[in-house]
Amino acid sequence: MLVGLLVHLECIANTVGPGRASVFLEDLTSPELRARIAKGVTTILVPIGGTEQNGPHMVLGKHNVRVRYLSGQIALALGNAVVAPVLAYVPEGAVNPPVAHMRFSGTISIPDATFESVLEGIARSFRQHGFRDIVFLGDHGGYQKNQVRVATKLNREWSGDSGTRVHALTQYYQTTQTEYVQALKLRGYSDPEIGTHAGLADTALALAVDPVLVRTEMLNPATRLDTAQGVAGDPRRATVAAGSLGVQLIIDTSVKSIQSAVQRRGER
Protein backbone atom coordinates (compact mmCIF):
# COMPACT_ATOMS: atom_id res chain seq x y z
CA MET A 1 0.00 0.00 0.00
CA LEU A 2 2.87 2.38 0.83
CA VAL A 3 4.51 1.81 -2.57
CA GLY A 4 1.21 2.50 -4.29
CA LEU A 5 0.67 5.70 -2.31
CA LEU A 6 4.16 6.97 -3.10
CA VAL A 7 3.76 6.22 -6.81
CA HIS A 8 0.37 7.95 -6.84
CA LEU A 9 1.70 11.03 -5.05
CA GLU A 10 4.65 11.18 -7.43
CA CYS A 11 2.25 10.97 -10.37
CA ILE A 12 0.26 13.92 -9.02
CA ALA A 13 3.40 15.96 -8.41
CA ASN A 14 4.60 15.50 -11.96
CA THR A 15 1.19 16.26 -13.42
CA VAL A 16 0.30 19.48 -11.64
CA GLY A 17 3.67 20.68 -10.34
CA PRO A 18 4.80 24.33 -10.57
CA GLY A 19 5.15 25.46 -14.18
CA ARG A 20 8.68 26.81 -13.97
CA ALA A 21 10.06 23.54 -12.60
CA SER A 22 7.88 21.25 -14.72
CA VAL A 23 9.18 19.00 -17.49
CA PHE A 24 5.88 19.41 -19.36
CA LEU A 25 5.87 21.85 -22.27
CA GLU A 26 2.28 22.86 -21.52
CA ASP A 27 3.33 24.23 -18.13
CA LEU A 28 5.98 26.56 -19.57
CA THR A 29 5.78 29.97 -21.18
CA SER A 30 7.33 30.43 -24.60
CA PRO A 31 10.35 32.40 -23.26
CA GLU A 32 10.90 29.78 -20.54
CA LEU A 33 10.99 27.03 -23.15
CA ARG A 34 13.30 29.03 -25.42
CA ALA A 35 15.69 29.54 -22.50
CA ARG A 36 15.77 25.84 -21.75
CA ILE A 37 16.55 24.98 -25.35
CA ALA A 38 19.36 27.54 -25.35
CA LYS A 39 20.79 25.85 -22.24
CA GLY A 40 20.87 22.42 -23.93
CA VAL A 41 17.44 20.96 -23.25
CA THR A 42 17.13 19.78 -26.85
CA THR A 43 15.30 16.46 -26.47
CA ILE A 44 11.51 16.52 -26.81
CA LEU A 45 9.43 13.48 -25.87
CA VAL A 46 6.19 13.11 -27.80
CA PRO A 47 3.84 10.91 -25.72
CA ILE A 48 1.26 9.07 -27.81
CA GLY A 49 -1.69 7.46 -26.07
CA GLY A 50 -5.10 6.62 -27.47
CA THR A 51 -8.74 6.73 -26.47
CA GLU A 52 -10.17 3.23 -26.45
CA GLN A 53 -12.21 0.78 -24.47
CA ASN A 54 -10.29 -1.04 -21.75
CA GLY A 55 -12.93 -3.41 -20.50
CA PRO A 56 -15.56 -2.47 -17.92
CA HIS A 57 -12.91 -1.99 -15.22
CA MET A 58 -10.56 0.62 -16.76
CA VAL A 59 -11.16 4.12 -18.09
CA LEU A 60 -11.06 5.03 -21.77
CA GLY A 61 -8.10 7.39 -21.26
CA LYS A 62 -5.79 4.83 -19.68
CA HIS A 63 -3.12 5.14 -22.37
CA ASN A 64 -3.11 8.94 -22.17
CA VAL A 65 -2.63 9.12 -18.41
CA ARG A 66 -0.06 6.35 -18.44
CA VAL A 67 2.11 7.73 -21.23
CA ARG A 68 2.07 11.24 -19.76
CA TYR A 69 3.25 10.02 -16.40
CA LEU A 70 5.91 7.70 -17.81
CA SER A 71 7.17 10.36 -20.22
CA GLY A 72 7.51 12.75 -17.31
CA GLN A 73 9.57 10.24 -15.36
CA ILE A 74 11.75 9.53 -18.40
CA ALA A 75 12.33 13.25 -18.93
CA LEU A 76 13.32 13.73 -15.29
CA ALA A 77 15.79 10.86 -15.53
CA LEU A 78 17.30 12.20 -18.76
CA GLY A 79 17.71 15.70 -17.34
CA ASN A 80 17.74 17.41 -20.74
CA ALA A 81 14.24 16.76 -22.04
CA VAL A 82 10.75 18.18 -22.00
CA VAL A 83 7.46 16.44 -22.70
CA ALA A 84 5.03 17.50 -25.42
CA PRO A 85 1.24 17.33 -24.96
CA VAL A 86 -0.20 13.81 -25.22
CA LEU A 87 -1.60 12.80 -28.59
CA ALA A 88 -4.89 11.11 -27.64
CA TYR A 89 -6.32 10.51 -31.13
CA VAL A 90 -4.85 7.47 -32.88
CA PRO A 91 -5.80 4.70 -35.33
CA GLU A 92 -8.07 2.16 -33.62
CA GLY A 93 -9.60 0.35 -36.60
CA ALA A 94 -12.39 0.91 -39.09
CA VAL A 95 -15.31 3.05 -37.98
CA ASN A 96 -18.04 1.87 -40.34
CA PRO A 97 -18.51 -1.01 -40.03
CA PRO A 98 -16.80 -0.88 -36.65
CA VAL A 99 -14.04 -3.37 -35.92
CA ALA A 100 -11.83 -4.18 -32.92
CA HIS A 101 -12.11 -1.55 -30.16
CA MET A 102 -14.48 0.56 -32.24
CA ARG A 103 -17.22 -1.95 -31.36
CA PHE A 104 -17.23 -0.49 -27.84
CA SER A 105 -18.57 2.90 -26.79
CA GLY A 106 -16.06 5.71 -26.41
CA THR A 107 -13.27 4.46 -28.65
CA ILE A 108 -12.02 7.12 -31.08
CA SER A 109 -10.26 6.18 -34.31
CA ILE A 110 -8.57 8.25 -37.00
CA PRO A 111 -7.11 7.03 -40.34
CA ASP A 112 -3.47 5.97 -40.48
CA ALA A 113 -2.64 8.71 -42.98
CA THR A 114 -4.13 11.39 -40.74
CA PHE A 115 -2.23 10.10 -37.73
CA GLU A 116 1.04 10.07 -39.64
CA SER A 117 0.43 13.60 -40.91
CA VAL A 118 -0.08 14.80 -37.34
CA LEU A 119 3.14 13.12 -36.19
CA GLU A 120 4.98 14.69 -39.09
CA GLY A 121 3.62 18.14 -38.27
CA ILE A 122 4.60 17.74 -34.63
CA ALA A 123 8.17 16.77 -35.54
CA ARG A 124 8.56 19.61 -38.04
CA SER A 125 7.32 22.09 -35.44
CA PHE A 126 9.81 20.98 -32.81
CA ARG A 127 12.70 20.97 -35.27
CA GLN A 128 11.85 24.56 -36.12
CA HIS A 129 12.10 25.51 -32.44
CA GLY A 130 15.57 24.03 -32.04
CA PHE A 131 15.00 20.53 -30.67
CA ARG A 132 17.59 18.08 -31.92
CA ASP A 133 16.15 14.76 -30.75
CA ILE A 134 12.43 14.24 -31.29
CA VAL A 135 11.28 11.04 -29.60
CA PHE A 136 7.96 9.30 -30.27
CA LEU A 137 6.80 7.31 -27.21
CA GLY A 138 3.79 5.19 -28.10
CA ASP A 139 1.85 3.45 -25.32
CA HIS A 140 -0.28 1.40 -27.73
CA GLY A 141 0.88 -1.44 -29.95
CA GLY A 142 -1.32 -0.76 -32.95
CA TYR A 143 0.50 2.29 -34.31
CA GLN A 144 4.14 1.42 -33.66
CA LYS A 145 4.66 0.90 -37.39
CA ASN A 146 3.24 4.36 -38.11
CA GLN A 147 5.77 5.97 -35.79
CA VAL A 148 8.60 4.15 -37.52
CA ARG A 149 7.31 5.16 -40.96
CA VAL A 150 7.19 8.86 -40.05
CA ALA A 151 10.62 8.79 -38.39
CA THR A 152 12.13 7.05 -41.43
CA LYS A 153 10.58 9.56 -43.82
CA LEU A 154 11.76 12.63 -41.93
CA ASN A 155 15.24 11.28 -41.19
CA ARG A 156 15.68 10.58 -44.88
CA GLU A 157 14.50 14.09 -45.73
CA TRP A 158 16.80 15.62 -43.12
CA SER A 159 19.78 13.40 -43.92
CA GLY A 160 21.87 16.47 -44.72
CA ASP A 161 21.21 17.88 -41.26
CA SER A 162 23.29 15.97 -38.74
CA GLY A 163 21.84 18.04 -35.92
CA THR A 164 18.25 16.77 -35.95
CA ARG A 165 16.79 13.27 -35.81
CA VAL A 166 13.42 11.66 -35.11
CA HIS A 167 13.44 8.53 -32.95
CA ALA A 168 10.52 6.08 -32.99
CA LEU A 169 11.28 4.51 -29.62
CA THR A 170 9.61 1.14 -30.09
CA GLN A 171 11.54 -0.17 -27.07
CA TYR A 172 9.14 1.75 -24.82
CA TYR A 173 6.24 -0.46 -25.89
CA GLN A 174 8.23 -3.65 -26.51
CA THR A 175 9.29 -3.70 -22.87
CA THR A 176 5.67 -4.21 -21.82
CA GLN A 177 5.46 -7.26 -24.07
CA THR A 178 8.79 -8.86 -23.15
CA GLU A 179 10.71 -8.02 -19.96
CA TYR A 180 7.59 -7.01 -18.06
CA VAL A 181 5.77 -10.21 -18.98
CA GLN A 182 8.79 -12.27 -17.91
CA ALA A 183 8.96 -10.41 -14.59
CA LEU A 184 5.30 -11.18 -13.94
CA LYS A 185 5.78 -14.86 -14.79
CA LEU A 186 8.65 -15.08 -12.30
CA ARG A 187 6.17 -13.94 -9.65
CA GLY A 188 3.73 -16.71 -10.43
CA TYR A 189 1.34 -15.08 -12.89
CA SER A 190 0.28 -17.11 -15.93
CA ASP A 191 0.06 -16.16 -19.59
CA PRO A 192 -3.78 -16.35 -19.60
CA GLU A 193 -3.86 -13.96 -16.64
CA ILE A 194 -1.27 -11.54 -17.98
CA GLY A 195 -3.19 -11.23 -21.24
CA THR A 196 -2.76 -8.83 -24.14
CA HIS A 197 -5.37 -6.14 -23.45
CA ALA A 198 -6.97 -5.05 -20.17
CA GLY A 199 -5.62 -8.19 -18.53
CA LEU A 200 -3.44 -8.41 -15.45
CA ALA A 201 -0.37 -6.72 -16.93
CA ASP A 202 -2.29 -3.83 -18.44
CA THR A 203 -4.41 -3.30 -15.34
CA ALA A 204 -1.47 -3.52 -12.95
CA LEU A 205 0.38 -0.82 -14.91
CA ALA A 206 -2.66 1.42 -14.66
CA LEU A 207 -2.93 0.81 -10.91
CA ALA A 208 0.74 1.70 -10.41
CA VAL A 209 0.41 4.95 -12.37
CA ASP A 210 -2.91 6.06 -10.87
CA PRO A 211 -5.38 3.75 -9.07
CA VAL A 212 -8.24 6.06 -10.12
CA LEU A 213 -7.92 4.59 -13.62
CA VAL A 214 -9.24 1.24 -12.39
CA ARG A 215 -12.62 0.29 -10.98
CA THR A 216 -11.06 -1.90 -8.31
CA GLU A 217 -14.43 -3.14 -7.05
CA MET A 218 -14.64 -5.20 -10.24
CA LEU A 219 -11.39 -7.03 -9.50
CA ASN A 220 -12.97 -9.77 -7.41
CA PRO A 221 -13.34 -13.54 -7.84
CA ALA A 222 -17.04 -13.26 -8.68
CA THR A 223 -16.50 -10.94 -11.65
CA ARG A 224 -16.18 -12.51 -15.08
CA LEU A 225 -14.28 -10.41 -17.62
CA ASP A 226 -13.74 -11.81 -21.11
CA THR A 227 -13.33 -10.92 -24.79
CA ALA A 228 -17.03 -10.13 -25.13
CA GLN A 229 -16.39 -7.30 -22.67
CA GLY A 230 -13.20 -6.17 -24.39
CA VAL A 231 -10.79 -8.01 -22.09
CA ALA A 232 -8.02 -10.37 -23.21
CA GLY A 233 -6.60 -11.72 -19.96
CA ASP A 234 -7.67 -11.89 -16.33
CA PRO A 235 -7.04 -8.69 -14.35
CA ARG A 236 -8.48 -9.82 -11.03
CA ARG A 237 -5.10 -10.37 -9.32
CA ALA A 238 -3.60 -7.10 -10.58
CA THR A 239 -1.82 -5.04 -7.92
CA VAL A 240 0.15 -1.83 -7.63
CA ALA A 241 3.26 -3.87 -6.79
CA ALA A 242 2.93 -5.92 -9.98
CA GLY A 243 2.47 -2.78 -12.04
CA SER A 244 5.43 -1.03 -10.43
CA LEU A 245 7.68 -3.69 -11.95
CA GLY A 246 6.57 -2.62 -15.41
CA VAL A 247 6.77 1.09 -14.63
CA GLN A 248 10.42 0.82 -13.64
CA LEU A 249 11.31 -1.40 -16.58
CA ILE A 250 9.72 1.00 -19.06
CA ILE A 251 11.49 4.01 -17.56
CA ASP A 252 14.91 2.35 -17.35
CA THR A 253 14.75 0.85 -20.85
CA SER A 254 13.51 4.06 -22.43
CA VAL A 255 16.15 6.24 -20.77
CA LYS A 256 18.97 3.95 -21.91
CA SER A 257 17.56 3.69 -25.43
CA ILE A 258 17.16 7.46 -25.77
CA GLN A 259 20.65 8.12 -24.46
CA SER A 260 22.08 5.65 -26.97
CA ALA A 261 20.04 7.14 -29.82
CA VAL A 262 21.15 10.68 -28.94
CA GLN A 263 24.78 9.55 -28.84
CA ARG A 264 24.48 7.90 -32.27
CA ARG A 265 22.89 11.07 -33.67
CA GLY A 266 25.82 13.09 -32.37
CA GLU A 267 28.29 10.75 -34.05
CA ARG A 268 26.70 11.03 -37.49
Band the pLDDT of 216: cuts 50, 70, 90: very high
pLDDT at 4: 44
Higher pLDDT, 12 or 223: 223
89-112 pLDDT, tens digit per residue, is 999 999 999 999 999 999 999 999
Global pTM reads 0.91
CATH code, 27: 3.40.50.10310
Quote the CA–CA distance of 75 and 61 in Å, as a whole number. Answer: 21
Residues 6 or more apart in contact with residue 211 via CB below 8 angstroms:
4, 8, 240
- Cis bond upstream, residue 91 (ω within 30): no
Distance (Å, rounded) from C-alpha 135 to C-alpha 173? 13
The conformation of residue 23, written as its DSSP 8-state character, comes to S
Boundaries of domain holding 26 = 2-267
Summarize the confidence of residues 59-81 as an average pLDDT: 98
Overall number of domains in the chain: 1
